[in-house]
Amino acid sequence: MFTLALGDDAELRPLEPWQAPELAARTDLDPVETYRRRYADQLASGTGRLYGIWREGVLVGAAVFACFDTLTGVCEISCRPEQAAQDHDLETRAGRALIDWAFAERGMSRVEWWVTADDVRSIVAARRLGMTRDGVLRERGSARGVRQDSEVWAVLSHEWPPVQGQNEPRARVQVELDRLMGLFMASFTNTDGRQPDLEVIRHLFVPEGRIISNVGGEPSVMDLDAFIEPRQKMLTDGTLTEFSEWEISERTEMFGSVAHRFSVYGKSGFRHGERFEGRGHKTTQYLRTPAGWRMCSMAWDDEPAPTSG
């Protein structure tokens, strides 16, 4: 039996039938019936698998390949640690382990994550894994007699960074850092009817991340809450409309588990109904964490607006 370390004294390994009642006592899943009726057959046919998540030797959750179709190259995963284990980000780490294996070892093309539209915890996990919401299926399922919408989130093999390691090729790290910066910039966009979603930034940064504005030479040091909340308001209350920000150029340096990126960016939109355009410079620091590469700090300064004359 294999064991896969998830960090923080946690590990992932196949769940045996005799361990299913212990999991049932700790989660809202029914692994006894699930194992007997579904995953035993799927394990035998190679179309699904049920794993247990252990922390400090205690079974605290499950990670599942709900389906695994090698003919189409599509599989579906689900991870559910007990409530007490969530502070340790086990849902994201277990999900990353399953996705790594599906892409690197089995050559799958697409990994899906299905959630009910009101399952905020699983939606947050999908975002942390870099997945994209592909759509909503109205009243697809039911729970306790109530029809519920389902959201399908997915990540494609060419979008997924490789298994992390000290000898990870520079080009692959660059792809992942490009992806994080692209998601950061896109979170502000409210052009063409798009809804800005600055909550994404929480999943791009480590929780203790800092963002610093040094526009005008007066530094403003913000945690994630202080940065996100006023900007989300401006982008949704009509203060800033048709706004977008994009990276013009970048220079990235890497060493082991740390990286630094210096960017030139542009921005445009309407502020209180008046058109504006601008440019600036941004410096961003990254760390490789058990959940993958994350931003840890960012600082920026805008170029002075051009004057006529």
What is the tens place of the pLDDT at every residue in 205-249? 999 999 999 998 789 999 999 999 999 999 999 999 999 999 888
At position 60, the amino acid (one-letter code) is: V
Of these ranges, 75-84, 85-94, 187-196, the one predicted with the greatest mean pLDDT is 187-196
Residue ranges per domain, the chain?
4-159, 170-302
- Encode pLDDT of 101-121 as tens digits: 888 888 899 999 999 888 877
- Asked if pLDDT for residue 252 goes beyond 70, the answer is yes
Closest by CA to 242, choosing from 265, 267, 270, 266, is: 270
User: Do you know the residue count of the chain?
Assistant: 309
Of these ranges, 4-13, 45-54, 57-66, 81-90, the one predicted with the greatest mean pLDDT is 57-66
Q: Answer for the pair 118, 83: CB distance below 8 angstroms, yes or no.
A: no
Give the DSSP H/E element, type plus range, for residue 178.
Answer: helix 170-186
- Encode pLDDT of 164-179 as tens digits: 544 556 767 887 888 8
Single pTM value for the model: 0.54
Q: How far is CA 148 from the centre of its chain?
A: 24
**Separation CA 288–CA 165 (nearest Å):** 10
Q: What is the pLDDT of residue 64?
A: 84
CATH pick for 4-159 out of 3.40.630.30, 3.40.50.2300, 3.30.1300.10, 3.40.50.10860: 3.40.630.30
The CATH code that applies to domain 170-302 is 3.10.450.50
